[in-house]
Amino acid sequence: MVSSKTDARDDETLETVLSIQELIKEPLTAVPQRYIQQHDQHKPSPFSDEISAYALPTINMKKLIQGEDTEIELQKLNSACRDWGFFQLVEHGVSPAVLKTLRDEVEGFFRLPMEEKMKYKVMPGDVEGYGTVIRSEDQKLDWGDRLFMKINPLAMRKPHLLPQLPSSLRSILELYMEELQRLGMMVVALVGKAVKMEKRDLEVFEDGIQNVRMTYYPPCPEPHLVMGLTAHSDAAGITILNQMNGVNGLQIKKDGLWIPVNVISGAFIVNIGDILEIMSNGAYKSVEHRAIVNSEKERISIAMFFLPRFQSEIGPAISLTNPENPPLFKRIGVEKYVKDYFAHKLEGKSYLEQMKIHHK
Ligand code: OGA
Ligand code: NI
């Protein structure tokens, strides 16, 4: 029965909203109600003078691994993780040619006709695929079109997602993911070293879960009314974000203020996720962040998330806890942790709260 385009639209009404790009094909005079955020979302103003003094620390990967300054750079990494939970990563070794091709291909993907992108749409009950999962009728929607996929372990890859992407996109993604896996594992090890965890505490990341989210944020006629990506902290150990077309929009919450992050061309943003907050027993904290949009430029990003293995258990590293520093978080299996995270509405750090042990 379902054959025409209109019918195809009907069967996805509640579970997913597929595309703002589709929505804005017809010139919009006003932002639809479902995208309008509560009033105070954009306050304090992200552009006040007060916060222009804040700039994200920059960590140089090359200096971290070779030469005379490794110890100094490791100290910098330690303060960046402790005080910010976020840093810019430069000299990371991923080739500019790969980044350029990736950008072209991802841009190309988001420009594909809707019918093409529908092949990857989020299925009912799933979290992977193209589109936004809707959990309630009154949920406010983000101003962004996204594709989310589990990419490691290989057995977790959904046959209709990565393997079915246009072949030129798939090949560059494979290359990029391979380079980022190498980089991500190095970053995890160095962050562990900076916080003085034992190597064995980090073994859970070997052949761990890795996910990718590509997001296309179209320009919005009334950017102050909407949110590109709702404030959240990442569930991951670490996240590596590539703001591939150089457009600003990421903001992180520091000292109660939303601080805009300036894109450094060719750099990645690395951030600590909830799992590393737990493992470091709170020494490093996952930090809330969000993405805003603007009225002129589209913005495109790709985030890669690094989590421990499915069958492993997470909890505060034994090497970091003792009677004076009791564990602040419960231990939990990764499988359950991930399942619960995705069942939960994206809302600041509320999920991590449930993991806390309250000492008197
Ligand atoms: C994310 C994320 C930020 C961005 O995907 O978790 O925080 O700028 N993305 O797209
Ligand atoms: Ni995030």
User: Among residues 145, 163, 200, which one has the least CA distance to residue 312?
Assistant: 200
Ligand 1 neighbour 152 (Cβ under 6 A): no
pLDDT score at 37: 82
pLDDT score at 39: 61
Cα(46) to ligand 1 centroid in Å equals 17
Other Cβ atoms within 10 Å of 196 Cβ, number: 12
Provide the domain count of the chain: 1
pLDDT 10s digits, 116-135: 999 999 988 888 999 877 77
Query: What single string gives the DSSP state of each residue in 94-119?
Result: --HHHHHHHHHHHHHHHTS-HHHHHT
Residue 316 lies in a domain: yes
Residue 188 lies in a domain: yes
Ligand 1 neighbour 102 (Cβ under 6 A): no
Ligand 1 neighbour 254 (Cβ under 6 A): no
Q: How far apart are the first and last CA of the chain?
A: 62
Place of tokens 């977790």: 156
User: In angstroms, rounded to a whole number, what is the distance separating the alpha carbons of residues 191 and 182?
Assistant: 14
pLDDT score at 161: 97
Residue 113 lies in a domain: yes
Ligand 1 neighbour 303 (Cβ under 6 A): yes
Tokens of 327: 């564990």
Residue 358 lies in a domain: no
333: domain CATH number?
A: 2.60.120.330
Longest dimension (CA), the chain: 69
Ligand 1 neighbour 106 (Cβ under 6 A): no
User: In angstroms, rounded to a whole number, what is the distance separating the alpha carbons of residues 19 and 36?
Assistant: 16
pLDDT bucket at 2, cuts 50 / 70 / 90: very low
pLDDT score at 12: 41
pLDDT 10s digits, 235-249: 999 999 999 999 999
pLDDT 10s digits, 348-360: 777 888 889 987 6
Query: Is 15 or 166 the better-scoring residue by pLDDT?
Result: 166
**H or E segment to which residue 151 belongs:** strand 145-152
Cα(241) to ligand 1 centroid in Å equals 7
Residue 214 lies in a domain: yes
User: Lowest-pLDDT range, 1-5, 151-155, 286-290?
Assistant: 1-5
Residue 268 lies in a domain: yes
Residue 213 lies in a domain: yes
pLDDT score at 48: 53
The residue range of the domain holding 199 is 4-353
Cα(250) to ligand 1 centroid in Å equals 7
Residue 360 lies in a domain: no
pLDDT bucket at 6, cuts 50 / 70 / 90: very low
